[in-house]
Amino acid sequence: MSYDKELAAAKNAVSLAARLCQKVQKALLQADVQSKSDKSPVTVADYGSQAVVSAVLQKELDSASFSLVAEEDSGDLRKEEGKETLQRIMKLVNETLASDGTYGNAPFSEEDVLAAIDSGRSEGGPSGQHWVLDPIDGTKGFLRGDQYAIALGLLDEGKVVLGVLACPNLPLSQEKVGCLFYAQVGGGTYMQSLDSSTPIKVHVTDLDNPEEASFFESFEAAHSLHDLSSLIAKKLGVKAPPVRIDSQAKYGALSRGDGAIYLRFPHKGYREKIWDHAAGYLVVAEAGGVVSDAAGNPLDFSKGRYLDLHEGIIVTNQKLMPALLKAVKESLNEKASSL
Ligand SMILES: Nc1ncnc2c1ncn2[C@@H]1O[C@H](COP(=O)(O)OS(=O)(=O)O)[C@@H](OP(=O)(O)O)[C@H]1O
Ligand SMILES: [Mg+2]
Ligand SMILES: [Mg+2]
Ligand SMILES: [Mg+2]
């Protein structure tokens, strides 16, 4: 089955949302210290991005069967305190849609914006098609002026069949910043600029010597156990220090061979959400990589809004995976026996 039409709509939606986010990040970084510590611009971009993606997908595709599993909902915006924020979001959404030329004819009202955001309340699951969206992944990176991503996937009968990842701050080449990664199941992974340069096919590294490998992990120590990653890396013989970047930009970078390994071990009790991994997973898998939980099981996106995982998520190429799994197992055993 081909998902060409859905892919074209998804690329359009994510590129426009990236435009909105770039505008907000620019204003945020130019703002004075006081409004930098004010988190509201981030909220505005998260909601705005979700509204834009939802609006574009529904305009381009059959909106009667539309189902979206997304991170944000409009609860706070419907409160009295949210009124001003909602106005700013509406303005941003309308400016962004108008900037494309094809969507700007009928401006969105506040109610339209709220409805677009709330179309993301689907529970997903094993049957039918569901879009999966993280309107800004790496909100903390976004706030710092670092890496973030707009991540959109499509599930069909519980499997990820499309993945589109915009990484506005990831270098594309020596001269250009901003990458759009996309993958369709069975079709490989491609990368282009956010303003639609000719796509190039990308592939994970073919490295087989862990000593030459480098690894990615979360920027935020609260999101992944950095000590455990360094123990695993040491066991593998990895020499390079960890590369810490925010968001699913890690999956994008890995898919083009920037690094060889991604290690993610959340603190106990944390449940991973599908929108934090769906798009990135397919981008890496179609580029020849392997994504699994710490026990080597494939990720299961059919269980609703959460992933059920054993311990964490590990990503690498096929050659390095056996050694990585062994190092992960030994490290987890050591950690358990030291407690
Ligand atoms: N405690 C904890 N443990 C693990 N993961 C968590 C945790 N808290 C949040 N999150 C999710 O992490 C998403 C950000 O991804 P990263 O960890 O890759 O980037 S970062 O280093 O935090 O910037 C982030 O996505 P966004 O909320 O979209 O930014 C969260 O969904
Ligand atoms: Mg996220
Ligand atoms: Mg997010
Ligand atoms: Mg969040």
User: In whole angstroms, what is the distance from residue 19 CA to residue 17 CA?
Assistant: 5
The torsion of the CA quartet 115, 119, 123, 129, rounded to 10 degrees, works out to 160
Residues 246 and 209: beta-carbon distance below 8 Å: no
Share of the chain above pLDDT 70, in %: 97
User: In whole angstroms, what is the distance from residue 167 CA to residue 234 CA?
Assistant: 30
pLDDT of residue 33: 44
Stated pTM of the model: 0.96
The response to whether residue 220 sits with its C-beta less than 6 Å from ligand 1 reads yes
217 Cα to the center of ligand 2, angstroms: 14
Output the residue whose Cα is nearest ligand 1's atom 23.
Answer: 246
User: In whole angstroms, what is the distance from residue 105 CA to residue 281 CA?
Assistant: 36
pLDDT top residue among 41 and 2:
2
The annotated binding site for Mg(2+) is made up of 71, 134, 136-137, 276
pLDDT of residue 123: 98
pLDDT in tens, 108-167: 999 999 999 999 999 999 999 999 999 999 999 998 999 999 999 999 999 999 999 999
Q: Is the pLDDT of residue 333 over 80?
A: yes
β-strand pairing of 129-137 with 149-156: antiparallel
pLDDT in tens, 157-185: 999 999 999 999 999 999 999 999 999 99
Q: Is the pLDDT of residue 41 over 50?
A: yes
The response to whether residue 266 sits with its C-beta less than 6 Å from ligand 1 reads yes
pLDDT of residue 105: 78
Q: Is the pLDDT of residue 50 over 50?
A: yes
The annotated binding site is made up of 71, 134, 136-137, 276
Catalytic residues: 46, 139
pLDDT in tens, 58-71: 999 988 899 999 99
pLDDT of residue 339: 74
pLDDT in tens, 249-293: 999 999 999 999 999 999 999 999 999 999 999 999 999 999 999
The response to whether residue 247 sits with its C-beta less than 6 Å from ligand 1 reads yes
198 Cα to the center of ligand 3, angstroms: 28
Burial of 333 (0-12, 13-18, 19+ CB in 10 A): exposed
Distances 311 to 221, 227, 238, 308 between C-alpha atoms, Å = 16, 14, 21, 9
